[in-house]
Structure 1
Amino acid sequence: MTAVAHTSYGTLRGDGRGDVVVFRGVPYAAAPTGERRWRPTQPAPSWVGVREAVAFGPIPPQDISPERLAKRGLTMSEDCLTLNIWTPAADDSRRPVLVFLHGGGQAQGHGSAPLLDGSRLARRGDIVVVTVNFRLGVLGSLYAPDWHGAESTNLTVRDQKSALQWVREQIGAFGGDPGAITVAGQSSGAIAIAALLAGGCELFDRAILQSGGLERVRSEAAASAVAAQLGTLMRAEDPDVADILAAQRGIDSGFVPPQGPFHPCVDGDVIAEHPLVVARTRPMPAIPVLAGTTRDEWRIFDAPLGEDVFTEQYVRDRAQALAGETHDADVVVATYRADRQSLRDVAGAMVTDYHFTAPTEQFVRAHAAHGNAVFRYELQWPSPRAELGACHDSCLPLLFGNLEAAPSLAGTDEAARHMSDVVQDLWLEFTRGGDPWERYDRVGGSTMLLGSECRVAREHRAEQLALWERRYPAYG
């Protein structure tokens, strides 16, 4: 099998030992090191001869122990702006392309995680799959234009745009169609896509948003407050990566509501306005969007808390923290208790809707109102661990088919494999340009419920989602 690709930067040799060719550690930008640390993404340098692309590149600096890095066979470095490509063949075919932006609160994760191995998806769908590394944490999200200049903001999003530009220009060398690119993202990856859409980015042709906490795009004030925290925590005048990560660990990340201190911010440049405001007030790029959440997103974050934590007062306090002055906390709790038995379930469901489901629904509703094709879903497939339910991250093994990489999220039995096949086929239909199910067009509109039974529902939990209508910048 041909495992050589000729890009405008030089020739790459990938790993062609199986029925899918893999190009690992492909540089899409110059290393953001030295004077480029706080600078916008710069073009990758060209090379002479054949460059080997058979090993993953270093992962971005993040809070992970050396022992864990060694156990996983990983290295970590600021020189991390690489991507990985899985393709049935590096030929002249024009296959649909799926570019995936990982989650992790824009502070954790990497495109070479076993969970995100694109082999099964590329093989099943005859598509090209791309995963991306980008700057994370303080190195990618610090809002300090007075320190590093106006172009030092939202470096993570700048990296992601550069990666998408590279894919648009180069993917034809890998058997992909540069005119049929779908960008998909989960969690903070989905938030980034919402920000890109709000900024008018036209580097992709379809978009998939999975479990995005879209209300967590930060204001300038919130981002400035994080920078101020960092300033008090940083001890070294000329910090190295270890110094930066040590200071980063001291920044309060919040819990309920989630603070998202490393998520994108409204900087007036890369992100001129909150995505929920943009979606409501003016058209974004007129592309199809598939978006949704899992039924029990927040359960995985509540799992470490003991049962004794979930008292009546605790649940009411959580409702008040979420609702602010816009609602009576007792009304919020009563609405969620109507169809839930345990206080733990009530507490988790409120955050799931506030942080994930309601802002996603509002974002896609506005996009549909401008005449765009929108497909909304809720993943209801439960974890083998009953306490987790259909939790955050459970969509990942189902989409990529790598069930064994995270057995506690979706299971590994025959039923889980069938669920994975269903999810893959629906996402692939969308990636190929089709309609995977009935379009969503209004509040309470068509939502695909993905579980042991897959069906389209209407008015799905409309009463609960309506509670948060005026809680976000789009309605504030």
Structure 2
Amino acid sequence: MADLMHRRGLLQMSGAVIAAPYLWLPTRAEEPQWATQTVAPFVEVEIASGKIKGGHSRGALAFKAIPYAGSVSGKNRFKAPPPVESWTGVRDCTRLGSPAPQGPGTTFGEHEPKPAEDCLILNVWTPAVKDGGKRPVMFYLHGGGFTTGSGGQNIQDGSHLAATYDVVVVAINHRLGLLGYLYLGELGDYPESGNQGQLDMVAALSWVKQNISVFGGDPNNVMVFGESGGGYKTAMLMGMPSAHGLFHKAGIQSGPGLRGMSRAEATETTRRVLAAFNLTDPAKLFDVPVEKILGLQLAEGKGALATPTKEWAAHHAPKPGDRSMAGTFGPVTDGKVLPADPFDPVPTPLSASMPLLIGNTRDEAVFFYRDDPAFFKKDEAAVRAMAQQALGAKGDEVLALYKKNRPNASPAELVIAVATAMSFGNDTITLADRKSQQPAPVYRYRYDYQSNAPVKGSDWTIRAGHASDISLVFLNQEILDLQGNGPGLNEAAHAMSSYFTSFARNAAPKAANQPAWPRYSTAKRPVMLINSQCQVVNDPDSEERKFWQSRG
């Protein structure tokens, strides 16, 4: 996946709460130096591994960089995370922790330390502590594909969501890239390798089960959700026996994960990693400095692991229905940690009783072309060449169909519509269709709010592009980002955050002054179009859906 750009929030707000014996109520706290800073008065609580200190942030309590597992460096690389080690004294949890190793400019946090191999920490935002609360827990998995990102990005800060809707929000960092998803299962006795990043998430969910009641959360009402790569990770968790019972609802935003990477494909990648380091013994990978591992991971994007064989190249070429979000590194359907592809060809039975909220943005692909302003000026001939390259003989047929349904669309707008369907839209529909055959309800949406954030070097805006919905889910629309600052933004943010939090509470998405959201089925295919004024439409763009589904 393309990396989200690092952006600093512009919002300056004063947090506000003081102590009662066990409950924290609104009052004035210390003025923060940046929007999401954790400030005094500070708060101490005790969890299973020791005492921690948090503070106030934007109307809620925040506890950051809490360890949920032990060290995963050295001899613990490529393995399931070990238990967290206890500590004495009071651990300062007022600042963000390190994200997983990744390239410069790709971390998401504001005032975040540099990446580190030992990165298994989580952040908690809550309205109150030690009050006997039974609040829904919203457990967020960050985007950035499987190679970048962190749970500390400012627009994903959980303070507003916790304070406004009386929920507990958790966001985690976990292993990424080679350290999180390199598969050694066919080359030695490494039973958890290939999915160690996913097992980090299971460890964090186990931490939630053990500790979240201290923060007023209900361990028996946990929703896992995520955007982009975070949505894909959520789908994979739904098919993991070790995660079963640790969460009870799921939300997938622009990240429909139908299947994992095959063992053969993952093993071939590993052989090429070993060759790149001039190694024959996988055990020697434990001694490779993390800087070299990250260097190879970054170089892979430039073909460092490429091979002249057409078969291997075909596995790694993005195409509709493939694991293009995972790229070279991602969860492996190994028959153990991930026994089967979660939603291909049928949904995992592990998800049968789990309600699902799923959707994508209307103009996803704008995000991925935003660094190429010349794209937005392409003429019909150039667009036709792009379609033929991507779809072969079907290219002209696809363009003709989309042009018929969008007679006033520019050439670039046609490409955006087609690319959005191929990258996220089609698999979102497929996953929703298959999951809807199970007893638990499915609710499908399309995010339509049109951002006015400019695309540099063009006369375009981001529109309803990929990742422009993140800040709205978290009710952080004041922090300037991809969502822009146009009319109707507040209404759209309250609608989307209300739908998500009410779904987390009781699996029934609702929002004040917005329409009721019907359960999804393949009979009518109702989709909530989320905007400043939402609406339900049955089977939007049905002709295009039928075309793609006819292709298989």
TM-score by length of 1: 0.90
Q: Distance in 2 between matches of 1:37 and 1:266?
A: 20
Q: Distance in 2 between matches of 1:399 and 1:123?
A: 14
User: Is contact 2:57-2:159 (8 Å) kept?
Assistant: no
Identity of aligned residues (%): 32
Moved over 6 A (4+): 68-71
**Aligned with residue 456 of structure 1, among 528, 533, 536:** 536
User: Is contact 1:278-1:284 (8 Å) kept?
Assistant: no
Q: Distance in 2 between matches of 1:60 and 1:210?
A: 22
Report Cα offsets for 1:176-220 as digits up to 9, x if no partner.
011111111111111111112123522111111100142573233
- Correspondences of 1:267-278 after superposition (within 5 Å): 267-277=334-344
User: Is contact 1:20-1:88 (8 Å) kept?
Assistant: yes
Q: Distance in 1 between matches of 2:110 and 2:438?
A: 49
Report Cα offsets for 1:161-183 as digits up to 9, x if no partner.
11112112211111101111111
**Partner-residue secondary structure (3-state), 1:181:** strand
Q: Distance in 2 between matches of 1:380 and 1:365?
A: 21
Q: Distance in 1 between matches of 2:421 and 2:440?
A: 24
Unaligned runs of 5+ in 2: 1-18, 23-42, 303-315, 455-459, 510-516
- Correspondences of 1:252-291 after superposition (within 5 Å): 252=301, 256-257=318-319, 258=324, 260-277=327-344, 279-280=346-347, 282=349, 284-291=351-358
Q: 1:389: which partner in 2?
A: 463
Q: 1:421: which partner in 2?
A: 494
Give yes or no for the alignment of 1:76 onto 2:115. yes
**Aligned with residue 94 of structure 1, among 134, 137, 155:** 134
Q: 1:349: which partner in 2?
A: 417
**Aligned with residue 233 of structure 1, among 273, 276, 284:** 276
Q: Once structures 1 and 2 are overlaid, which stretch shifts more, 229-238 or 266-275? A: 229-238
Q: Distance in 1 between matches of 2:394 and 2:137?
A: 47
Name the CA shift for 1:377/1:390 in 2 (closer, same or farther; >3 Å). Answer: same
Q: Distance in 1 between matches of 2:82 and 2:422?
A: 37
Q: Once structures 1 and 2 are overlaid, which stretch shifts more, 382-391 or 35-44? A: 382-391
Q: Distance in 2 between matches of 1:8 and 1:281?
A: 33
Name the CA shift for 1:308/1:416 in 2 (closer, same or farther; >3 Å). Answer: closer
Q: Once structures 1 and 2 are overlaid, which stretch shifts more, 8-17 or 394-403? A: 8-17
**Partner-residue secondary structure (3-state), 1:338:** helix
User: Is contact 1:235-1:243 (8 Å) kept?
Assistant: no
Q: 1:181: which partner in 2?
A: 222
Q: Distance in 2 between matches of 1:128 and 1:111?
A: 15
Name the CA shift for 1:176/1:467 in 2 (closer, same or farther; >3 Å). Answer: same
Q: 1:243: which partner in 2?
A: 292
The aligned length equals 468
Give yes or no for the alignment of 1:400 onto 2:449. no
Q: Distance in 1 between matches of 2:270 and 2:388?
A: 28
Q: Distance in 1 between matches of 2:340 and 2:53?
A: 42
Q: Distance in 2 between matches of 1:315 and 1:171?
A: 52
Q: Once structures 1 and 2 are overlaid, which stretch shifts more, 242-251 or 216-225? A: 216-225
- Correspondences of 1:5-154 after superposition (within 5 Å): 5-16=45-56, 19-64=59-104, 72-91=111-130, 92-145=132-185, 146=187, 149-154=190-195
Return the offset for 1:415: 2.4
Name the CA shift for 1:196/1:379 in 2 (closer, same or farther; >3 Å). Answer: same
User: Is contact 2:108-2:154 (8 Å) kept?
Assistant: no
Q: Distance in 1 between matches of 2:465 and 2:58?
A: 33
Return the offset for 1:308: 7.8
Q: 2:398: which partner in 1?
A: 332
Return the offset for 1:252: 3.7
Q: Distance in 2 between matches of 1:438 and 1:401?
A: 23
Q: Distance in 2 between matches of 1:219 and 1:461?
A: 33
Q: Distance in 2 between matches of 1:459 and 1:70?
A: 38
**Aligned with residue 248 of structure 2, among 205, 217, 229:** 205
Larger C-alpha radius of gyration, 1 or 2?
Answer: 2
**Root mean square deviation of aligned Cα:** 2.7
User: Is contact 1:25-1:82 (8 Å) kept?
Assistant: yes
**Aligned with residue 194 of structure 1, among 235, 238, 255:** 235
